């Protein structure tokens, strides 16, 4: 879907705790801007926002597919080309931070930088060349930030809910109790497979993608790989009367767009939508049977996501296998919104 940038503010409901109506003396004004940057294995995303009412309003945003983790599984290092793409995106972010007079910000890096042998070297270079100081966070903090950012969209219910974030290099799953004012993490798991790493793991099996039998075999292998990685977590999950499921990632927002039949991405239509689980499974299986060229023609997938979306489908289907909810909640919010809540409320996850 390429770059997504908007200047139209939107409302983020249900903050982690109410923002003060009057800042204490000597503190920053609520009219000033805060920023959150999430550098993942596949995407670089920035949000700049101001506190507003009981939540916040976004005043600027940026999203670009950079594929920082491309080739990482084979080499163990971030490639020069991936670093150059990412630095170009970070320079755009740095310019936005400067122009918006951001008073407080946090920038985090996730799985690609956690795994890469030259991850720390890249972080130092990014700081030298862009002024952005990236913090490599743990998988646990990544999961908690994602929940903090999107939990307002969990459907009402008494039983625990499962929130997941399909990234480029890993997938975080979090079991949460939603009975209180804020979600309470009951259990969590980080699987070392995201859309980039999982796609690269079966690249040889797929070949040129023209053989439908090989595509079917590759998809089945992806599902088995993910199932093995999340089996320990699946074994710990409780049996509940009404499973609730909420996903946040480019995979689920893309598939939500396909389900709605959108001809272009529309955040207002996708964020907060509820889709039947069986309908999402049907989309996953349909896409997995198509070639990359065929998927590239699907609106809201396009050439940038055509080669990776099937891995996301395999991860999603496997999650729905272990947590058989009838409906899937979809969130176009997550780590960045969680960071903003922390910054505005002076709290940490």
Share of the chain above pLDDT 70, in %: 89
Per-residue pLDDT, 205: 67
Task: Give me the DSSP letters along 317-349.
Answer: HHHHHHS--SEEEEES--HHHHHHHHHHHT---
Reported pTM: 0.85
Q: Which residues, listed in sequence order, are joined to residue 248 by a DSSP beta bridge?
A: 331
- Residue 59: the pLDDT is 95
Q: At what angle do helices 119-130 and 80-99 cross, to 10 degrees?
A: 40
Domain 11-140 and domain 153-331, same fold? Reply is yes
Domain boundaries, the chain: 11-140, 153-331
Burial 234-245 (b: 16+ CB within 10 A, else e): beebeebeebbb
For residue range 96-112, list pLDDT tens digits in order.
999 998 999 999 999 99
Distance CA 152, CA 143 (A): 15
pLDDT value at residue 203: 79
Q: 153-331, which class in CATH? A: alpha beta
Given this model, what pLDDT does residue 182 score? 82
The average pLDDT across 300-324 equals: 96
| CATH class, 11-140 region | alpha beta
- Look at residue 209 in the predicted model and tell me its pLDDT: 62
Can you spell out the DSSP letters for 219-261?
HHHHHHHHHHHHHHHHHHPPP-SS-EEEEESHHHHHHHHHHHT
Q: Give 27's pLDDT tier (boundaries 50, 70, 90).
A: very low
Mean pLDDT in residue range 35-45: 96
Q: What is the average pLDDT score of the chain?
A: 89
Q: How confident is the model at residue 269 (pLDDT cuts 50, 70, 90)?
A: very high
Tell me: the pLDDT tens digits for 214-255? 899 999 999 999 999 999 999 999 999 999 999 998 999 999
Q: Using CA atoms, how far apart are residues 50 and 133, in angstroms rounded to an integer?
A: 21
**Dist CA 154 CA 270 (whole Å):** 14
By 3-state DSSP, what share of the chain in percent is helix, strand and coil, each rounded to 5?
A: 45, 20, 35
For the segment 343-348, the average pLDDT, to the nearest whole number, is: 66
């Amino acid at each position: 879907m390429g770059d997504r940038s908007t200047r139209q503010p939107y409302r983020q409901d249900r903050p982690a705790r109410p923002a003060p109506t009057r800042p204490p003396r000597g503190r920053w004004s609520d009219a000033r801007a805060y920023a959150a940057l999430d550098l993942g294995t596949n995407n670089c995303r920035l949000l700049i926002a101001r506190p507003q009412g009981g939540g916040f309003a976004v005043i600027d945003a940026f999203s670009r597919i950079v594929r920082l983790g491309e080739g990482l599984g084979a080499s163990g290092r971030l490639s020069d080309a991936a670093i150059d793409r990412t630095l170009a995106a970070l320079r755009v972010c740095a310019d936005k931070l400067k122009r918006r007079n951001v008073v407080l910000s946090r920038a985090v890096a996730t799985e690609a930088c956690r795994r890469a042998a030259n991850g720390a070297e890249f972080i130092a270079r990014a700081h030298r060349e862009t002024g952005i100081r990236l913090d490599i966070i743990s998988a646990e903090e990544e999961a908690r930030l994602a929940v903090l950012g999107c939990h307002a969209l969990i459907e009402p219910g008494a039983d625990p809910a499962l929130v997941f974030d399909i990234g480029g290099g890993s997938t975080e799953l979090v079991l949460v109790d939603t009975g209180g004012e804020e979600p309470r993490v009951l259990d969590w798991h980080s699987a070392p497979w995201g859309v980039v790493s999982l796609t690269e793991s079966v690249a040889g099996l797929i070949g040129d993608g023209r053989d439908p039998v090989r595509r079917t075999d590759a998809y089945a292998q992806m599902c088995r790989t993910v199932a093995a990685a999340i089996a320990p977590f699946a074994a710990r999950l409780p049996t509940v009367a009404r499973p609730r499921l909420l996903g946040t990632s480019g995979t689920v927002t893309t598939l939500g767009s396909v389900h709605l039949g959108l001809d272009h991405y529309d955040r207002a239509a996708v964020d907060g939508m509820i889709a039947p689980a069986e309908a999402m499974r049907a989309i996953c299986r349909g896409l997995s049977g198509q070639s990359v060229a065929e998927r590239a023609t699907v609106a809201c997938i396009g050439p940038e996501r055509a080669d990776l979306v099937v891995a996301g489908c395999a991860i999603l289907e496997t999650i729905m296998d272990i947590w058989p909810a009838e409906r899937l909640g979809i969130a176009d919010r997550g780590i960045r919104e969680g960071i903003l809540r922390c910054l505005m409320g002076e709290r940490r996850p």
